[in-house]
Structure formats: structure tokens, C-alpha cells
Amino acid sequence: MLNQQMKRGKEASSGICGQKRRCAKLIRIDRVVKQPSRRGRRRRKQGEFGIDAGASCALFRPGSSLIIFFVAVAALACMSFPGQSRAAALQWNVQELPVATGLGDHLFPDLDGSDVFFLDRGATDSLFRKNIFGGVAEQLFSGAEIWAGPASDGGAFAWQDSSSQGCLRFTGQETGKCIAAPRASSMALSGQRAIISDSGSTIRLLDFSTMRSRMLDSYDTPNMRYDPDIDGAAAVWVKERGYAGQYYEPLIVSCNLETDDITYLTKLGGGAATGGGSKYLRRHPVISNDKVVYQQKLNQPGQQWDIYTTDPATYGVPLVQQPGDQVSPSLSGNLLVYQDNRNGFFDENGQWVDNWDIYLKDLSTNIEQPICIQPGDQTSPVIKGNTVVWQDKRNGKPDIYAATLTTPAGPGSLFRLTRFFGEVMRTTFPAGWTSVTC
């Protein structure tokens, strides 16, 4: 059966370097295969499987003396293989899961493991938690208007309500602890530290381990300090810096929460736009493992938002530049998600419809793929680990959906071997086997 499958696969497979591609899906080689004879035939042991030396995929027993040679041949073949096929092979598998649907508006999701925290806005605001794999949603808080949050991390969740207090509670506990704070417009949590922005003029840290609040940055004019995020002992936000009253430039800054030292992560003095204001506009920085990404665009008519990463020597390094806007990034390791309206359109009345979708870019492979492109708007994505959650209006109102990401080989390992011959992807097979495929 396997020999027949291999034969059919060779006949139907696509070309490499203008020739027919020969790629076996699963091949066992018990010994080094001899080179073809003058008649073009290969001698094999009974029950042995193999492929031609020029094939792009092969499996070897560990310790084979020619494994480096075959890897090199496979990789060299891959270098001229169409990029679309390689990209498809490296894409993540996406399994979508509904989290909160039905009556009511479900808003502002955040993740902690497989638990999603979100706001259910009805007659009163209610904060809920639900596991993405099922079960009943648990109501955690109700009875007051929620101003900021929920934010979650490390088995805890935080929010601020109309009592003008920022609160933190550990999952499974009935009570939490609260710190008085001015009304916040946004909140992020890492461990027992929450960072908030109030009135766009002050960045404040709420440390629930010490039950203290302290101001990190402030300005006497609204909308000059905003969009904070936090990861461990590092925080980032947008700081508007003035240039002799001519214009204010939005810059990405970081703060060491142990020393309170603030560092500019983008080059200063980008200049003024033709129509006034800063040449560059920047929003929504997020930080993960010391890497910072954010959205940026030129302050000119017709320009669109793209996703950038910081570099103090430049005005930003682009990561995602596609048609339409890419905004609201979220980062976990090398996995970057964002909302994207490249599929926007004009309706029958000539009105532009944004049609926001959720996209993913794996920064380790530089490959982008859609996560959710359903009807209606998908917005506010959050990624932690290999799970993505977002707000979704496919049903005509805000609901919460999630997706789990697995490698093309399932939950097994995925990595790239990069040497002199391009990219080689290895996936997990039973013990004793090695796969090399492009």
C-alpha cells in the first residue's frame, strides 16, 4: 500500500527547478540506499522504502553517515521552491472556539491560561470568567460600572469600577484587595502589578503586593500619556514630547519599574507633518520578553496604520505593512496578532465598511496568516501562549471568540534549521525517525 501511495505521489506532485517533485510522506530507510545503476534502477532490500537522491523530502535513521548530505540536497531544492508552498507548510493550525455568545454584549476580553475574562454589559456591568474549552461562565463581579479592565495574569484578574478603586483578586477567592486610583481609561496586569492611564495625562502603577500606588509619568494637559502595557518589571506607553511649541511627537518609552528609569525606544525629532502636528503617529505599544511592538503611520492624508517594532536609532522598524490598517497589536513571544481591515469594502450606498479581521504573524518565520475573517468586525485581539481571544460581531452584536494554535504536525515541536542552505522544517515523528521537508 505504501509503495503504491509513493508511486502515485511521485506522479502527481508539483515541480522543483522545473522538474517533477518527488516527495514521500513517510519513508523508512534501513541502510544507505545505493546510487541508481546505469539502467536507472535502485536496489533495495525487501520491505525497504526510499526516494530518489534529488527528492525534497526524506526520512533517515539517526546516525546515518549521509544525513548531512541529504539535508543539504533537500534544502538546496527548497531554495528554489515557490514560497507560497513553504509558507503554507509553516502556517499554524487554527481551531476556533465560541466563548461568550447569546444575550447581552460581551466586551474587552483578556486571557490567563485557558480562562477568558470579559465584561458582560447589560443593565449593570458584570465581570465574568469562562474556560475556552467549555463549562459555565462564572460571574466574578457586578453592581458597579466598570471603568477599566478586566486584565488578567498569573491566576489573578484586575479591574477598576466606579468606586474609584483598582482591584485585584485571585481566581477561586471570594474577596480581593483594592487601591484608590483616579478613573482609568485603560489597564494592563503583570503578576500583582497593574498599570493604568487616567485622563490620558498620567501613567500610574498599582502594586498590589505592597498596596501602594505611584505615578510613573504625568503631564498637565490631557492626551499626552496613554496606552500603557506591562510585562514583569518593564512597562511601556506613549509619551507626547513637545518641540518648542511647534508640535508634539508621540514617542514610545519604556520604564524599569525597579529603578523608575525611563528610556525612549524610538528616535527623537521625526519632524512636523505638512499639515501640522507630528510627522509620525504612534499608538498601542505592547511588550513581551523585552520586545515592543506598536502601530504607526505617517500623519498625511491617505496613509494607513501598520505594525512596527521599536529601534532607538530609527523612527521605527516595520513588521506588518499590508493594504488597509493594521492596529491593536498583541504579542506573545514571537507570535503577533492584530486587527486588520484589508478586506474592507464600499457598500451599496458608497459607504466604506472597515470589515475588521484578526491576523497572525509568526516573527520567527516571517509568515502571516488569518486567524478569523468571519462576517462582521473582529477586534481587540489578545494572544498569550498559543491561545488568541477577541471581540466578535459576526452575530450583529459583540461576542467573545477564541482560537488555539497548533503546529502543522499537531502539538509536536516546530522549529527551523537554518544553516547555509535556507530554511528546513522538522516535525515530530515516532521515535527513531527523522523528517526533513521543505
Residue 347 and residue 232 share a domain:
yes
Residue 370 and residue 277 share a domain:
yes
What pLDDT is stored for residue 139 in this prediction? 94
What pLDDT is stored for residue 192 in this prediction? 97
Residue 324 and residue 187 share a domain:
yes
Mean pLDDT of 216-221: 93
Mean pLDDT of 293-315: 96
Using 50, 70 and 90 to split pLDDT, how confident is the model at 249? very high
Percent of the chain with pLDDT over 90: 63
**Residue 5 φ then ψ, to 5°:** -65, -40
Which of 16, 11, 12 is CA-nearest to residue 76? 16
Q: Residue 403 pairs with which residues in a beta bridge?
A: 96, 388
What pLDDT is stored for residue 409 in this prediction? 55
Q: Please, what's the b/e burial string for 98-127 (b: 16 or more CB within 10 A of its CB; e: otherwise)?
A: ebbeeebebbbbbbbeebbbbbbbeeebbb
Element (H, E) at 74: helix 67-79
What pLDDT digit, counting tens, does each position of 33-91 carry?
A: 334 444 444 444 344 333 333 333 333 344 544 445 444 444 444 443 444 456 677 89
Residue 80 and residue 9 share a domain:
yes
Residue 168 and residue 274 share a domain:
yes
Whether the predicted pLDDT of 14 surpasses 60? no
What pLDDT is stored for residue 345 in this prediction? 87
Whether the predicted pLDDT of 261 surpasses 70? yes
Q: Select the more confidently predicted residue: 10 or 127.
A: 127
CA distances from 12 to 19, 23, 327 (A): 12, 10, 42
What pLDDT digit, counting tens, does each position of 342-385 carry?
A: 998 888 888 888 899 999 999 999 999 999 999 999 999 999 99
Element (H, E) at 108: strand 105-112
Cell of 222: 490631557
Amino acid at 299: N
What pLDDT is stored for residue 353 in this prediction? 84
Whether the predicted pLDDT of 431 surpasses 50? no
What pLDDT is stored for residue 123 in this prediction? 63
Cell of 314: 530609527
Residue 189 and residue 42 share a domain:
no
Whether the predicted pLDDT of 241 surpasses 50? yes
Mean pLDDT of 382-391: 98
CA distances from 314 to 254, 271, 283 (A): 16, 13, 17
Place of cell 467573545: 400
What pLDDT is stored for residue 115 in this prediction? 97
> For residue 137, what are the domain limits?
95-409
Residues 6+ apart with CB under 8 A from 100: 106, 116, 118, 120, 128, 130, 137, 399, 400
Residue 65 and residue 24 share a domain:
yes
- Residue 145: which CATH number? 2.130.10.10
Mean pLDDT in the chain?
Answer: 80
Which of 30, 102, 23 is CA-nearest to residue 392? 102
What pLDDT is stored for residue 208 in this prediction? 98
Out of 102-111, 290-299, 345-354, 422-431, which region has the weakest mean confidence (pLDDT)? Answer: 422-431
What pLDDT is stored for residue 199 in this prediction? 77
What pLDDT digit, counting tens, does each position of 168-202 carry?
A: 999 999 899 999 999 999 999 999 999 999 877 99
Residues 6+ apart with CB under 8 A from 401: 96, 97, 98, 99, 372, 378, 389, 390, 392
Amino acid at 143: G
**Residue 92 φ then ψ, to 5°:** -80, 145
Whether the predicted pLDDT of 110 surpasses 60? yes
What pLDDT is stored for residue 25 in this prediction? 36
What pLDDT is stored for residue 124 in this prediction? 78
Cell of 207: 502594586
What pLDDT digit, counting tens, does each position of 320-342 carry?
A: 999 999 999 999 999 999 999 99
Residue 239 and residue 164 share a domain:
yes
Mean pLDDT of 230-235: 98
Amino acid at 220: D
Give me the number of domains the chain comprises. 2
Angle at 270 between CA 268 and CA 274, to 5 degrees: 155
Residue 183 is classified by DSSP as: P
Which of 267, 203, 263 is CA-nearest to residue 230? 203
Whether the predicted pLDDT of 430 surpasses 90? no
Residue 217 and residue 191 share a domain:
yes
**Residue 271 φ then ψ, to 5°:** 95, 175
378/394 Cα distance (integer angstroms): 8
Q: Please, what's the b/e burial string for 158-169 (b: 16 or more CB within 10 A of its CB; e: otherwise)?
A: bbbbeeebbbbb
330/339 Cα distance (integer angstroms): 9
Residues, the chain: 438
What pLDDT is stored for residue 141 in this prediction? 93
Percent of the chain with pLDDT over 70: 72
Cell of 248: 508634539
Residue 234 and residue 173 share a domain:
yes
Q: Residue 141 pairs with which residues in a beta bridge?
A: 127
Residue 341 and residue 394 share a domain:
yes
296/49 Cα distance (integer angstroms): 54
Q: What is the DSSP string of 232-258?
A: TTEEEEEEEEESTTS-EEEEEEEEETT
What pLDDT is stored for residue 31 in this prediction? 37
Using 50, 70 and 90 to split pLDDT, how confident is the model at 275? confident
Residue 15 and residue 119 share a domain:
no
